[in-house]
Amino acid sequence: MIVVMKQGATQEQIDHMIQRVEQFGLRSHVIYGETRTVIAAIGEKRDEHRNSLESGPGVAEVVPILAPYKVASREVKPDPTTVRAGSLAVGDSYLGMIAGPCSVESEEQTVSAAKAVKAAGATGLRGGAFKPRTSPYSFQGMKEDGLKILATARQETGLAVVTEVVADTDVDLVARYADVLQIGARNMQNYRLLEAVGKQGTPVLLKRGASATMDELLLAAEYILNAGNPNVMLCERGIRTFESHVRFTLNLTSVPYLHDRTHLPVVIDPSHGTGHTNLVTRMAAAAVAAGADGLIVEVHPDPETAQSDGYQSLTFDQFDELMQLCNKVADAVGKKIVPNKE
Map the footprint of a second copy across residues 226-265, applying CB under 8 A: 226, 239-246, 249-253, 255-257, 260
* CB nearer a second copy, residue 178 or residue 252: 252
* CB nearer a second copy, residue 149 or residue 217: 217
For β-strands 2-5 and 124-126, DSSP reports them as unpaired
Instruction: Classify residue 177 as left (phi > 0), alpha (psi -120 to 50) or beta.
Output: alpha
User: Cβ of residue 82: shortest distance to a second copy, in angstroms?
Assistant: 19
Q: Which stretch binds a second copy (CB under 8 A): 86-94, 104-112, 118-126, 270-278?
A: 270-278
The residues in 28-47 that bind a second copy, with binding defined as CB under 8 A, are: 29, 31-36, 38, 40, 42-47
25, 155, 199, 282: which one binds a second copy (CB under 8 A): 282
* CB nearer a second copy, residue 159 or residue 283: 283
* CB nearer a second copy, residue 154 or residue 316: 316
The residues in 116-155 that bind a second copy, with binding defined as CB under 8 A, are: 132-139
11 binds a second copy (CB under 8 A): no
* CB nearer a second copy, residue 9 or residue 159: 9
Q: Mapping DSSP to helix (H, G, I), strand (E, B) and coil, where does residue 178 land?
A: coil
Task: List the one residue out of 261, 217, 260, 263 whose CA is nearest residue 238.
Answer: 217
Element (H, E) at 154: helix 144-157
Given CA atoms 75, 77, 79, 83 in this order, what sign does their dihedral have?
negative
User: Is 180 in contact with 202 (CB distance < 8 Å)?
Assistant: yes
- Rounded alpha-carbon distances, angstroms, from residue 243 to 20, 120, 240, 249: 44, 33, 8, 7
304 binds a second copy (CB under 8 A): yes
* CB nearer a second copy, residue 46 or residue 148: 46
Q: Give the Cα separation of 120 and 194 in Å (integer).
A: 33
Which residues are CB-contacts of 300 (< 8 A; sequence separation ≥ 6)? 101, 102, 109, 113, 306, 310, 313, 314, 315
The residues in 82-111 that bind a second copy, with binding defined as CB under 8 A, are: none
63, 155, 172, 176: which one binds a second copy (CB under 8 A): 63
Number of residues that bind a second copy (CB under 8 A): 111
